[in-house]
C-alpha cells in the first residue's frame, strides 16, 4: 500500500486536469469517510491529500464538516484530534490566507503539535536560510554557465568598406605574330578586378569549443562540491534555528512554571496573612510580625513583574524568529521536563559543519586540478557563411568550416601562479577542517560534561526541593501552634520557593546542553 500512497501523494502535488483532480479529491474523501484505511496512518493521509486538491469553497466545506466530527477525547495524547487540527490549519492557510491561519493557531496554540508549526515558521522566516538557498541557486547558475561553454556561439557580422581604388590585376598587351602577314597592333585587355572599390559584407559565423584543457570538467566538479557544502551548511543553519526556537520555547516554559511557583507561594502567603490578622487581633503577634508578611508579598509581586518583563521579551524573540505577530504566542503555555537521550555517541564526523568542510576541501582540490588547463590547448570548431556574395573578392570563399587549436606556450607564468594559489587554498581548507574537528571534539566533550553536571544539579535540586517542602510543612505547623516565629515561617517559604525555581532552572540548563549535543 505504501508505494501506491506515495504515487497518489505525488499526483496530488502535481498540476492535474480538472476532471482528474475532482476524481482524486472524491476518492480521498470517500476513503476517509468509509474508513478504508482506518487504524493506519494512511487514514488521515487521505484528508491531507484532499486538502491539497481543494479549489472550491464547497470542497473546503466538505473537509471542515468531516473535521468537525472529530472531537477531543480528553486523553493526554489524542492522535486523531491533533491530526484534525493540523489538517484544518493547513486548509485554512490555503483557502482563507495566512491571517486566518494565524488566528486559528492563536486559539489552538496549546496543542503541542504546534511547536513544530512554530519551528516551521522560523525556518521559513530565517534570512540566513533564504540566503543559503540563494547561494545554492547561484552555484547552479555557474554550473549551467560552465556546461554552456560547449554550446556554439553564433553571430551575424556586417560591414561596409570603401577602398581608395578597386583591387585589380593588369594584363600585359597581347601581340599576335603571324608569319607572312604584317605585324598586327597589340591587343590591350581590361584589368582583371579582384575586389570592387565598395564592399558590403554580411556573414554568419559560428564557433564551438571542443576541448578546454579539462577546465570545464574539473571546474564543474568543484562547483558540485561547493553546492554540496552549501547544502550541508543549510543543515547547520536549520539546526541552529531549531535550537534557538526550542530554547526560546523552553525559556517561556521556565517563566510560566516559575509564575506557577509564585502563584502557589502567593496563595500560602494569603492564607498566612489571614491567620496573622486574626492572631494580631488576639494579641498573639505584633504589627511588626504582620508587616513581614506584607513585605514578603511585595517581594513576590516584584518577582512577578520581572517574570512578566522576561515573558514579553521572550515573546518578542519568538516574533523576531518567526516573523509572526506577538499575539500568536500570548496564549502559549509550554511545559518543561528533563530531556532524556543518548550521549554516548561521540561521532562528530556526521556533523553538518564537518561534512561541509569536507566538501569545501574537495572543491578546492578540483579547482587546483582545473588550473592544469593553462598548460593544455583549447580546441574549437568554426564555420562561416557569407550572406551577401556580390561584393566578395575572387579570393574570398562563400563558406568555410574548420577546426582550430590555441595553445599558450608561455603565458607569463600566470598558470604557475594560479596553481600556487590553488595549492594554498587547498591547504587552508584542510587546516579549517582539522581545526573544526578538534574544536568539535572539544565542544562535544564540554557539552557532555555540561549534561552530566546538569543531571547532577537536577538531582540535587530535586532533593533540595523535597527537603524544603518538608521544612515548609514543619514551619507552617510550628507557626500555627505558636512554636515558631513568623521569621522562620517566611524563611521556610523563601527556601521552598528558591528550591522550586532552582529545579526549573536546572532542567532548562540540562535541555539547553542536550540541544547543543
What are 199's strand-pairing partners? 161
| Residue 138 CA: distances (Å) to CA of 94, 334, 387 | 30, 40, 39
Q: What is the mean pLDDT of residues 449-455?
A: 87
Q: In which band, very low, low, confident or very high, does the pLDDT at 102 lie, cut at 50, 70 and 90?
A: low
> Cα(390)–Cα(398) distance, rounded to whole angstroms?
10
Q: What is the pLDDT of residue 87?
A: 86
Q: What pLDDT was estimated at residue 153?
A: 95
Q: If pLDDT is split at 50, 70 and 90, which confidence band does 106 have?
A: low
CB proximity list for 451: less than 8 A, separation 6 or greater = 343, 510, 513, 514, 517
pTM, whole model, 2 decimals? Answer: 0.70
Share of the chain above pLDDT 90, in %: 29
Residue 346 has pLDDT above 60, yes or no: no
Are the CB atoms for 199 and 161 separated by under 8 Å? Answer: yes
- Please determine, for residue 28, whether its predicted confidence score (pLDDT) is greater than 80: yes
Categorise residue 35: left if φ over 0, alpha if ψ from -120 to 50, beta otherwise.
left
Structural contact between residues 216 and 147, judged by C-beta atoms closer than 8 angstroms: yes
- Rounded CA separation 256/205 (Å): 75
CA distance readout (Å), 479 to 279, 326, 372, 440? 11, 45, 90, 55
CA distances from 401 to 118, 200, 206, 404 (A): 64, 22, 9, 10
Alpha carbon separation from 360 to 136, 352, 430, 432 (Å, rounded): 14, 12, 9, 10
Per-residue model confidence as pLDDT tens digits over 232-285:
999 989 989 988 988 898 898 899 888 888 888 888 888 878 877 887 787 766
pLDDT surpasses 60 at 76: no
Boundaries of every domain in the chain: 2-108
Tell me the residue length of the chain.
Answer: 517
CA–CA dist 380, 382 (Å, integer) = 7
The model's pLDDT over 458-512, given as tens digits with 9 standing for 90+, comes to 999 989 989 998 988 898 888 777 777 778 888 888 888 889 989 999 988 888 8
Closest-CA residue to 208 (of 371, 404, 376): 404
In a 3-state reduction of DSSP, which class is residue 257?
A: helix
DSSP 8-state class, residue 285? S
Least confident of 7-16, 300-309, 310-319: 7-16
CA-only gyration radius of the chain, Å: 41
Mean pLDDT over 374-382 rounds to 91
- Do 513 and 451 meet the contact criterion of CB atoms below 8 Å apart? yes
The pLDDT of residue 278: 80
Amino acid at each position: 500500500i505504501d508505494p501506491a500512497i506515495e504515487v497518489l501523494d505525488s499526483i496530488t502535488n502535481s498540476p492535474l486536469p480538472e476532471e482528474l483532480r475532482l476524481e482524486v479529491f472524491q476518492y480521498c474523501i470517500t476513503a476517509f469517510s468509509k474508513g478504508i484505511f482506518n487504524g493506519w496512518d494512511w487514514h488521515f493521509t487521505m484528508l491531507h491529500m484532499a486538502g491539497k486538491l481543494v479549489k472550491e469553497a464547497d470542497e473546503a466545506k466538505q473537509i471542515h464538516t468531516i473535521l468537525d466530527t472529530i472531537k477531543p477525547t480528553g486523553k493526554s495524547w489524542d492522535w486523531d484530534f491533533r491530526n484534525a487540527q493540523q489538517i484544518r490549519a493547513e486548509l485554512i492557510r490555503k483557502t482563507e490566507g495566512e491571517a486566518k491561519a494565524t488566528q486559528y493557531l492563536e486559539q489552538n496554540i496549546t496543542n503541542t503539535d504546534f511547536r513544530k508549526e512554530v519551528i516551521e515558521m522560523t525556518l521559513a522566516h530565517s534570512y540566513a536560510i533564504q540566503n543559503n538557498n540563494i547561494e545554492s541557486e547561484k552555484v547552479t547558475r555557474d554550473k549551467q554557465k560552465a556546461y554552456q561553454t560547449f554550446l556554439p556561439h553564433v553571430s551575424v557580422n556586417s560591414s561596409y568598406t570603401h577602398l581608395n581604388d578597386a583591387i585589380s590585376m593588369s594584363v600585359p598587351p597581347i601581340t599576335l605574330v603571324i608569319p607572312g602577314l604584317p605585324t598586327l597592333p597589340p591587343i590591350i585587355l581590361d584589368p582583371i578586378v579582384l575586389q570592387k572599390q565598395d564592399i558590403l559584407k554580411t556573414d554568419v559565423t559560428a564557433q564551438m569549443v571542443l576541448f578546454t584543457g579539462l577546465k570545464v570538467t574539473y571546474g564543474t566538479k568543484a562547483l558540485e562540491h561547493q553546492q554540496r557544502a552549501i547544502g550541508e551548511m543549510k543543515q547547520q543553519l536549520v539546526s541552529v534555528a531549531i535550537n534557538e526556537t526550542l530554547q526560546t520555547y523552553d525559556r517561556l516554559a521556565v517563566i510560566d512554571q516559575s509564575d506557577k511557583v509564585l502563584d502557589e507561594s502567593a496563595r500560602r502567603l494569603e492564607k498566612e496573612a489571614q491567620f496573622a490578622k486574626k492572631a494580631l487581633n488576639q494579641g498573639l503577634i505584633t504589627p511588626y510580625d504582620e508587616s513581614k508578611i506584607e513585605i514578603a508579598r511585595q517581594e513576590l509581586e516584584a518577582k512577578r513583574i520581572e517574570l512578566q518583563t522576561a515573558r514579553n521579551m521572550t515573546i518578542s524573540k519568538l516574533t523576531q524568529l518567526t516573523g509572526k505577530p506577538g499575539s500568536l504566542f500570548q496564549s502559549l503555555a509550554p511545559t518543561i521536563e528533563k530531556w532524556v537521550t543518548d550521549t554516548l555517541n561521540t561521532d562528530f564526523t556526521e556533523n553538518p559543519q564537518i561534512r561541509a568542510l569536507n566538501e569545501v576541501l574537495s572543491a578546492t582540490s578540483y579547482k587546483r586540478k582545473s588550473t592544469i588547463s593553462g598548460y593544455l590547448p583549447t580546441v574549437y570548431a568554426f564555420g562561416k557563411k557569407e550572406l551577401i556574395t556580390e561584393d566578395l573578392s575572387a579570393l574570398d570563399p562563400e563558406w568555410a568550416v574548420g577546426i582550430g587549436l590555441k595553445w599558450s606556450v608561455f603565458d607569463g607564468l600566470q598558470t604557475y601562479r594560479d596553481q600556487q594559489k590553488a595549492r594554498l587554498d587547498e591547504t587552508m581548507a584542510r587546516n579549517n577542517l582539522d581545526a573544526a574537528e578538534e574544536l568539535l571534539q572539544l565542544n562535544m566533550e564540554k557539552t557532555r560534561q555540561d549534561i552530566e553536571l546538569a543531571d547532577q544539579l537536577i538531582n540535587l535540586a530535586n532533593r533540595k526541593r523535597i527537603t524544603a517542602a518538608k521544612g515548609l510543612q514543619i514551619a507552617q505547623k510550628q507557626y500555627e501552634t505558636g512554636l515558631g516565629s513568623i521569621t522562620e515561617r517566611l524563611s521556610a517559604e523563601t527556601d521552598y520557593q528558591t528550591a522550586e525555581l532552582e529545579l526549573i532552572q536546572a532542567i532548562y540548563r540540562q535541555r539547553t546542553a542536550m540541544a547543543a549535543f
